[in-house]
Amino acid sequence: MEVHIAWPGREELKARVELDQKNNIVRAELLGIGGPDFIQAVSEFRMKLRGPLSALPLPQGVSAQAIMLRELVLRLKGEWSPPYKDDEICHCRAVPTQVVDLAICTGAHTPREVSDLTAASTACGTCRPDVEAMINYRLKGTP
CA distance 104 to 88: 15
In which domain, by residue range, is 62 found?
Answer: 2-76
139 has pLDDT over 80:
yes
140 has pLDDT over 90:
no
Residue 7 lies in a domain: yes
Residues 6+ apart with CB under 8 A from 5: 12, 13, 14, 68, 71, 72, 75
pLDDT in tens, 13-24: 999 999 999 999
Mean pLDDT, the chain, rounded, equals 94
45 has pLDDT over 70:
yes
Q: Tally the domains of the chain.
A: 2
- Cα–Cα–Cα angle for 115, 119, 124, rounded to 5 degrees: 90
Pair (103, 62) in one structural domain: no
> Which secondary structure element, helix H or strand E, spans residue 69, and what is its range?
helix 64-76
Residues 6+ apart with CB under 8 A from 86: 97
Pair (48, 27) in one structural domain: yes
115 has pLDDT over 70:
yes
Could you tell me the pTM of the whole model?
0.91
